Amino acid sequence: MLEMKVLSVIADVSSGFSMLLTDMDQKVILPVGIGPFEAQSIAIAVQGEEPPRPLTHDLLKSVCDSLGAAVEKVVITDAREGVFYAEVHLQQDGRSLVLDSRPSDAVALAVRCGCPIYMSPKLVEFTYKFEDIVTQE
């Protein structure tokens, strides 16, 4: 597994929004298309802002906390026909739970919980070299 972090959330005229995930050494970037509400939720959490009312991902974190479940990690697991898949890994009372998730929801939760984000090695074919992206600007 390759540990990732949120590099940025960007608006793209042609495809809406994308979250850009990068490895910890900033060698590769994984762009994942996301919806506008998820983009806002991730951006708010990454910037350390506090929304006036809890967003859906804040509610999910609160539910996990109230039930004594710790978000251990999230994993971007697969991509099929242009759609990415993810899992949220929880620990509760000595039990491991794995929940199917959209990557955007998993990442929005991970940023709030401060847990690691991983990418399956098989997804490396969907990444770009960091240096290629940065030098184009």
For a pLDDT cut of 90, what percent of the chain falls above it? 80
Chain segment 23-48, per-residue pLDDT in tens: 999 999 999 999 999 999 999 999 99
Task: Please give the pLDDT value at position 130.
Answer: 78
Asked if the 2-135 domain carries CATH number 3.40.50.300, the reply is no
pLDDT tens-digit map of 51-98: 889 999 999 999 999 999 999 999 999 999 989 999 999 999 999 999
User: Residue 70 corresponds to which tokens in the numbers above?
Assistant: 């710790």
pLDDT of residue 134: 61
pLDDT for the residue 136:
55
Report domain extents, the chain.
2-135
DSSP-assigned states of every residue in the chain? -EEEEEEEEEEETTTEEEEEEEETTS-EEEEEEE-HHHHHHHHHHHTT---SS--HHHHHHHHHHHTTEEEEEEEEEEEETTEEEEEEEEEETTEEEEEEE-HHHHHHHHHHHT--EEE-GGGGGG-EEHHHHHHT-
